[in-house]
Structure 1
Amino acid sequence: MPLNLPDKLPAIELLKEENIFVIDNSRASQQDIRPLKIAILNLMPLKITTETDLIRLLSNTPLQLEVSFMKLKSHTSKNTPIEHMMTFYKDFETMKKEKYDGMIITGAPVEQMDYEEVNYWDEITEIFDWTRTHVTSTLYICWAAQAGLYHHYGVPKYPLYKKMFGVFAHTPNDILNPIFRGFDDIFYVPHSRHTEIRKEDIEKVSELEILSESDDAGVYLVMGKNGREFYVTGHSEYSPLTLDEEYKRDLAKGLDIEMPCNYYRDDNPKNTPLVRWRGHANLLFSNWLNYFVYQETPYNIDDIR
């Protein structure tokens, strides 16, 4: 089944070029199927890029999804045209009375700030609380994962002495958990962050379970509320060239940035990246949608509690 997306969303044409099956609202309205309602709170600066990355992964499922994009009223994006935001995004205030089968909250470029210093902290924590009564399962990514763990469970973050930057090997802790259906014993994930959460802090919280770790990148995947919350510290959704673009951008700014680890062929930035995370990324999103959204959400969406 395809994704049901807003008419004229730029990602539609971009993904059609990759032979990914998506349809717009006009065509989807003719299909007699109750789609899963998925909300995406996109906090990344380059919103069209992030939309495309996420939709690419969400499309790899036989389920029909109706995707809605949420924005914060307390924050204005500086890197995305206002026309795009007005056309495709809605304020949380206009969406808060609705219920959703699943939700994705992305990372944000504010990780080196204290949480309470972020100018939209009050609004986003209201959204975090709202998900617990209005969403069947929520996927928190990167900064959102750290922020969600801090807000819900008091798990702190710590600065790293250097940026966690590259593609790292990870292992599942509980291979029988449905989120790992089809996974190999070792899988790879891109990371790009200046802060971390620590295992010993999470283990103090009985409601949380660490599902996956990396010897190099630390805690990767944490589950809360029996699958109603997933906290993902890496960027499984990244496209092949995202780390390359970040690296070259920071070099151009004169920042002290090391080459991303385990990323370029022969560790030579003149070579193309060696992509080793797409299989895992597709499984992560399709397993989440199938086992923790579709299998758990009520047919009557208003019954979500």
Structure 2
Amino acid sequence: KIILAEKIFGIFPHLIIESHPLLDGLSQGFIVPHARYAETDKEQIMQDSRLVINSVDDNGHLFMISSKEKPEQNFIFSHIEYGRTGLRDEYQREIAAHPDRHYKKPDNYSMSSPLFQWKDTQKTFFDNCLKQVEKSKLVLN
């Protein structure tokens, strides 16, 4: 875990580096929100032959890592679950909790009239998750 100089906070385009069933149907440049103060060490991940970096944002920050040995183990480093106002709500929670601090507003995101730019990405990703659960159930039976 690496603590970042400043919070990754906003909506960013992503690159698919290594395909994965959870990323099926997503195009290069798919949009996803991030909000975090830490990053996992990519060098350590790349040195571990059990792991694959599947996707990063356009700044190289992690979106998804998967396990080669255990296909059910996938690690997501974004807030793909957020709805339209998720980043605004998080920003307001931080301001309320620490009014003395200065917080950067989210990149590529309007606080006054937020758009749900990642709605299609979210639907595709979670549909893929459900397909994988269904496929796993069939294998177990």
Q: TM-score, normalised on structure 1?
A: 0.43
- 1:36-47 to structure 2, matched below 5 A, reads none
Q: Say which of 214, 220, 224 aligns to 2:57.
A: 214
Give the number of the structure whose alpha-carbon radius of gyration is greater. 1
| Alpha-carbon distance in 2 for matches of 1:164, 1:287 | 26
Q: Say which of 30, 39, 44 aligns to 1:196.
A: 39
SS of 1:243's equivalent?
A: helix
What is the letter of the counterpart of residue 196 of structure 1?
E
Is 1:161 paired with 2:1?
no
Greater fraction of residues in helix: 1
Instruction: After TM superposition, give the deviation of residue 166 of structure 1 in Å.
Output: 0.9
Instruction: After TM superposition, give the deviation of residue 280 of structure 1 in Å.
Output: 0.9
Q: Say which of 7, 18, 21 aligns to 1:178.
A: 21
Q: Say which of 260, 263, 266 aligns to 2:109.
A: 263
Instruction: After TM superposition, give the deviation of residue 163 of structure 1 in Å.
Output: 1.0
- 1:223-242 to structure 2, matched below 5 A, reads 223-224=66-67, 225-242=69-86
What is the letter of the counterpart of residue 208 of structure 1?
L
SS of 1:220's equivalent?
A: strand
| Alpha-carbon distance in 2 for matches of 1:171, 1:299 | 31
Determine if contact 1:172/1:185 at 8 Å carries over to the other structure: yes
Structure 2 counterpart of 1:293:
133
Gaps of 5+ in 1: 1-156
Instruction: After TM superposition, give the deviation of residue 207 of structure 1 in Å.
Output: 0.8
Q: Closer, same or farther in 2 for the Cα pair 1:295/1:158, shift >3 Å?
A: same
Q: Closer, same or farther in 2 for the Cα pair 1:249/1:296, shift >3 Å?
A: closer
| Alpha-carbon distance in 1 for matches of 2:31, 2:53 | 17
Instruction: After TM superposition, give the deviation of residue 199 of structure 1 in Å.
Output: 1.7
Q: Say which of 115, 118, 123 aligns to 1:277.
A: 118
Structure 2 counterpart of 1:187:
30
Higher relative contact order structure (alpha carbons within 8 Å, sequence separation ≥ 6):
2
Instruction: After TM superposition, give the deviation of residue 299 of structure 1 in Å.
Output: 6.2
Determine if contact 2:18/2:52 at 8 Å carries over to the other structure: no
Instruction: After TM superposition, give the deviation of residue 251 of structure 1 in Å.
Output: 2.6
Determine if contact 1:188/1:276 at 8 Å carries over to the other structure: yes
Determine if contact 1:189/1:277 at 8 Å carries over to the other structure: yes
Q: TM-score, normalised on structure 2?
A: 0.87
Gaps of 5+ in 2: none
| Alpha-carbon distance in 2 for matches of 1:288, 1:162 | 31
Determine if contact 1:164/1:217 at 8 Å carries over to the other structure: no
Instruction: After TM superposition, give the deviation of residue 288 of structure 1 in Å.
Output: 1.9
SS of 1:182's equivalent?
A: coil
Q: How many residue pairs were aligned?
A: 138
RMSD: 1.8
